[in-house]
Every structure is written in C-alpha cells, then in structure tokens.
Amino acid sequence: MIRLPGDFGLTTMASKSVITKQSALFVRLAVRRGGHERLGFWRPAVRPSSSKFQSGLELPASTTKRFSTVTTTKPQHPVKDILKGRARRDLHGKVAIVTGAGSQGDDIGNGRAISILLAEDGASVVCVDKDVSLAQRTASIIHQALKRRGKPESPPAALAIQADVTNESDCRRIVDTAVSSFGRLDILVNVVGVMGAHGTAVDLNPEEWAWGLEINVTSMMLMSRAAIPAMLQNQRREENGSIRGSIVNIGSVAGLRGGTRHLLYPTSKGAVVNMTRAMAAHHGRDGIRVNCVCPGMLFTPMMAGGMTDEMREARKKRSLLGTEGNAWDCASAVRFLAGDEARWITGSILTVDAGATAAVALSSPV
C-alpha cells in the first residue's frame, strides 16, 4: 500500500494505485480508497520512462513500499519557472515618438493622452506637433505628473519637437532627435489627422481632398519610413518575443464602414486600416509589429467644436454601452498595443467605440 498525505490523512493507506501518465520526472497515479479517487504525483527512485511504469499498470504494495511517498498535490516548480515567458507591462528603457501630441491649453486629445500614458509606464516620449507650444505643454504635463508621483526622470520622460509630418526631411529629423537624445527608438504612434475636405465626390474641393489624404495617410507612411530603420537597430530579446519595434496607427471606425456625411475622412481612415495590415505583413519577420486603433464617437477636443448637447446624446445612444468615451480610452488601447504584453499581436484593428461597430443598439427588449 502507498502512504498518502493531504486529503487522505497522514496515516491513511490507499487500497489501489494505477499509473495514468508518466513524464521525465513524475508518475501520475489514480489513487483509490474505497469509493473515492484522487490524483497522486509520485517521484520514484528510477526514471518514470522505465517500462515498469506503463500507463494502466496497477502498483502492488510489494513494489511501491520501496519508493517515496505519494502526494495528492502536483509538485510545484520554482516561481521564476512558472512566470517564465510572461510579458511585462513596463516601458522603462523604451523610447516612443507620438505625432500630434499637442492639444489646445490643458485639453486632453488623443495624442496628449497617449504621450502621458506611455511616459507613465516608463517610456521616454518625443512629443511632436506642428505647433511646438502645444507639444511643449504636453511634455510639461508629463514632467509635472511624474514629479507628483515621485518618479525620477532619468533619462527625461519627455521632450517636445516642432515638425511637419507631411515633410519627409522633418520625419527623418524627428527620428534622429529621438535616437540622439535617448539612444534608440522602440515605439511610433501616428496620431496626426484632420477631418479634411467636406462634402461628397460631387461637391468637395479636390485640393482639400489631396491635402487631407497627405495628412491622414501619407504622413503615417513617411514617419514609418523614417522610424523602421532605427527600430531595426534594436537587438532581439527572447523575453519580448524578439520584437524590435511597435507602430500604432490611429484610424477610426469611420474607416470600417460607410454612413458618414463627408467622403474624405472615412476614405482616408479606411486607407490607414489597410496600410496597417500591409505594413504588418511587410515588416513582421523583421520584428516590427504594426497595429491600428480605431476610436469611435469619443468626445475629444477635435470633436467638440460645434457639437450640441443633443448631438452628444445621440452619439451615446448609438453604442452598445450607451456611454461616452474620451481620449484616455483611446490612449489605454494604444499603450497596450505599444508594449510587450501585445508582443504576439500585429496586423490587428482594435476598435474603441463601446461596441458601436459590433451591433446595432437595441431600443426595446423585443
């Protein structure tokens, strides 16, 4: 008989033990006593791969008396082995570029919120805006927030830079500044975007159409064109899935379906969605992840102008949750995709829209 601790009691004897599985170190047993059965794990003196430990074999008392005690708890591995392979939500040592990082005054737009959350998790952030004063305000907010939390800034958590991301030389200068200031580049978040030309194909202004596409689509290509070579200088590390860089493009639910009043915005955001997928395919084997966040019906400074209370309420009701999101909701999704916890995610389109694109909200229980 086999002496069992745990649920069976220290002095209880099992009436029958049958091998159900063996591994390199342990034999798993079906341990029976009366009408009850428990799983037991037993480390015998000889290798379990020996033929005498075949599955289905009942172990007689005369054999098992020579071996160690059976336990009803699987032997535990050291904690470090259990946690091995787990990604960490820690951006310390990483460097990020966020375009469109400014907002008017102390408003919180998508770019500013993203910059703050990336810095909050330890990244050094290059805040880019065409109006440098807006980017400087974002960097200042980051410094103040970290100071209040008592977090040291070494290296500095944020710096501001003026640039036009539709200009290729400016895009290269942004990346050069990141690398020269912080030594590397790990994350690029392409936020810059405009509503662009108003109207349908019949009545929009072609020049405004071209300008809108240049800002909403071409700028993301130019920034990625400048950033990817810098990311490829990063060494592959097993703990982060051998990822060298992460690019997150900001799209919109308008790019996933029709029904908007103006042609330019959904067209350009649809291009961003499929550009993301194409770039993910092009650069995945190089260790570059590319994903897209598609916010929908968030209330941000970009959307606030001219929106009445009635319009805001109607937007809320179009979502499954019936609530209103803000820039922090978009930023949280970006922070996840930018970091190592998303190391096995690329080419994905993540909607942040309270379920508006998943289904039509029900107005009645019928």
Q: Which residues are designated catalytic? A: 265
CA–CA separation, 251 vs 190, rounded Å?
A: 9
Write the CA distances from 354 to 257, 319, 362, integer angstroms.
16, 5, 14
Pair 140, 192: CB distance under 8 Å? no
Structure tokens, 66: 């020579």
Name the DSSP class of 257.
Answer: S
Pair 13, 2: CB distance under 8 Å? yes
Pair 223, 171: CB distance under 8 Å? yes
Pair 260, 252: CB distance under 8 Å? no
Closest CA to 214 of 261, 250, 167, 274: 167
Whats the size of the chain, residue-wise? 366
Closest CA to 300 of 252, 361, 355: 252
